[in-house]
Amino acid sequence: MDFSLNEEQVILKNSIIEFATHELNSDLINRDQQGEFIWENWKKCSDMGLSGLPIPKEYGGAGAELSSALICIEALGYGCKDSGLVHALITQTCCGVQLLLFGSDFQKQEHLFGIASGKKIAAQAFTEPDAGSDVGSMNAKVEKVKDKYILNGSKIFISNGPIADLAIVSAVMEESQRKGYGKISCFLVEKGTKGFFREKPLEKMGLRTLQNGELIFEECEVPEDHLIGKEGQGLFMFHEVIEWERALMSACHLGIMGRILEACIRYAKNRHQFGKPIGKFQSVSNKIAEMKVNIELGRLMLYKAGWLKDQKKRALLETSISKLFISESLKRACLEAIQIHGAYGYMKEFEIERELRDSIASTIYSGTSEIQKNIISGLVGL
Amino acid sequence: MTIKNVIKQFIHTELLYEKENIRLDDTTQLLDTGILDSLGIMTLLPFLEQTFFIRVSEGELIPENFESVNAISLLVEKKTKS
pTM for the full predicted model: 0.96
A233 and B49 within 8 Å at the Cβ level: the answer is no
Give the CATH H-level superfamily of domain A123-231. Butyryl-CoA Dehydrogenase, subunit A, domain 2 (2.40.110.10)
CA gap A71, A64 in Å, rounded: 10
Q: How far apart are the first and last CA of chain B?
A: 20
Quote the DSSP letter at residue A180: G
Report domain A7-121's class. Answer: mainly alpha
Task: Identify the closest residue of chain B to A228 by CA–CA distance.
Answer: B59
B42 and A378 within 8 Å at the Cβ level: the answer is yes
Instruction: Chain A: give the shortest CA distance to residue B71, in Å.
Output: 14
Task: Map chain B to HEC letters.
Answer: CCHHHHHHHHHHHHHCCCCCCCCCCCCCCCCCCCCCCHHHHHHHHHHHHHHHCCCCCHHHCCHHHCCCHHHHHHHHHHHHHC
Give the Cα-Cα-Cα angle A38, A121, A67 (nearest 5 degrees): 90
Residues in B closer than 8 angstroms to A312, CB to CB, are: 55
CA gap A129, A156 in Å, rounded: 6
A316 touches chain B (CB under 8 A): yes
Q: What is the pLDDT of residue A192?
A: 97
B31 and A179 within 8 Å at the Cβ level: the answer is yes
Residues in B closer than 8 angstroms to A239, CB to CB, are: 38, 41-42
B34 and A180 within 8 Å at the Cβ level: the answer is yes
pLDDT, block means (10 residues), chain A with 382 residues: 88 97 97 96 97 96 96 98 98 98 97 98 95 84 95 97 98 78 93 98 98 98 97 93 97 98 98 98 98 98 96 94 98 98 97 98 96 93 82
A244 touches chain B (CB under 8 A): no
Q: Which of A179, A233, A378 sits opposite B39 (nearest CB)?
A: A378
Q: What pLDDT band is residue B13 in, cutting at 50, 70 and 90?
A: confident
A235-379: which CATH topology? Butyryl-CoA Dehydrogenase, subunit A; domain 3 (1.20.140)
* Chain B residues within 8 Å of chain A (Cβ atoms): 14, 31-34, 36-43, 45-46, 49, 55, 58, 61-63, 66-67
- pLDDT tops 70 at residue B23: yes
CA gap A326, A317 in Å, rounded: 14
Task: Identify the closest residue of chain B to A98 by CA–CA distance.
Answer: B58
Instruction: Chain B: give the shortest CA distance to residue A87, in Å.
Output: 25
A375 and B39 within 8 Å at the Cβ level: the answer is yes
Q: Which of B33, B41, B62 sits opposite A239 (nearest CB)?
A: B41
Q: What are phi and psi of A145, to 5 degrees?
A: -125, 110
| Residues of A annotated as part of the active site | 245
Give the Cα-Cα-Cα angle A101, A369, A21 (nearest 5 degrees): 70
Report domain B3-81's class. Answer: mainly alpha
Task: Identify the closest residue of chain B to A179 by CA–CA distance.
Answer: B32
Instruction: Chain A: give the shortest CA distance to residue B39, in Å.
Output: 7
Q: Which of B32, B42, B63 sits opposite A239 (nearest CB)?
A: B42
Its ipTM equals 0.89
- Cβ-Cβ contacts under 8 Å between A and B: the total is 71
A379 and B32 within 8 Å at the Cβ level: the answer is no
**C-alpha distances out from residue A313 to A237, A380, B36, Å:** 15, 17, 21
Strand A166-173 relative to strand A148-159, pairing = unpaired
Within 8 A by CB and 6+ apart from A320, the residues are A246, A367, A372, A375, A376, A379
Q: What is the pLDDT of residue B39?
A: 85
Instruction: Chain A: give the shortest CA distance to residue B49, in Å.
Output: 9
- The closest of A45, A12, A169, A81 to A355, measured between CA atoms, is A81
- The closest of A12, A96, A76 to A256, measured between CA atoms, is A76
Q: Which of A180, A239, A316 sits opposite B32 (nearest CB)?
A: A180
Q: Which of A101, A102, A314 sits opposite B45 (nearest CB)?
A: A314
Q: Which of B41, B43, B63 sits opposite A178 (nearest CB)?
A: B63
B42 and A235 within 8 Å at the Cβ level: the answer is no
Q: What is the pLDDT of residue A2?
A: 82
Q: Which of B42, B57, B68 to mutate to test the interface with A (most CBs of A within 10 A)?
A: B42
